[in-house]
Amino acid sequence: ATYDPSRPGGVSALAGSFLAGILRHLPALTAFTAPSPVSYLRLQPHHWSSSYTWFGDRDREASLRICPVNRVGKSDPAKAFNIEYRPADATACPHLALGVMVRAGLEGIRQKLAAPPLFSGDPALLEEEERVGLGLHRLPQSLAEALATLLSDETVCSWFAPVAIETYVGMKRMELQLAGEALDDALCRRYAEIY
């Protein structure tokens, strides 16, 4: 369902709509997929993670990337064709992270969004107008910013009962308070011990 060799990157129209939905809501999704204060140490430019909402082909900096496919011999690329979601880490609840990604993708399908353009390069080197034209928006740079972005995305919030969003955001704000201001080695060790 995801592979179509006649389309850019081999991404089917259906998968393209799914990915466009994820990219549209990605800044809000980071509150679930990168849900700890230390998550944002990784989501920086040039860290082989992701820092912008972009779709790339085998690009380790892209938020969504087409994974390399073995094309040796007679293997069918459709059976091994995958898209990787990169702005997630081990502090995320896998069920919640997968749930919000699927819901965002389904929104893209329902709205018949066009497949996002493939981008290669460094978004930081582009002018702001060029980035916006390509749909490259900077992801939240802290958990506090991700939570504010989540609360401003009415679509994502609508997937939950209001009390669920209120509870989740409240718990994460308490976690920010307990973690303190310093994103240092001691805090990273503390998270490593927990996770």
Give the confidence band of 183 by pLDDT, cuts at 50, 70, 90.
confident
| Rounded Cα gap, residues 168 and 173, in angstroms | 9
70, pLDDT greater than 80: no
- Return the structure tokens found at 192: 């490593």
- Return the structure tokens found at 18: 């799914």
Q: Which residue has the higher pLDDT, 119 or 181?
A: 119
**Angle at the Cα of 195 from the Cα atoms of 167 and 89, rounded to 5 degrees:** 75
- Return the structure tokens found at 129: 């107008």
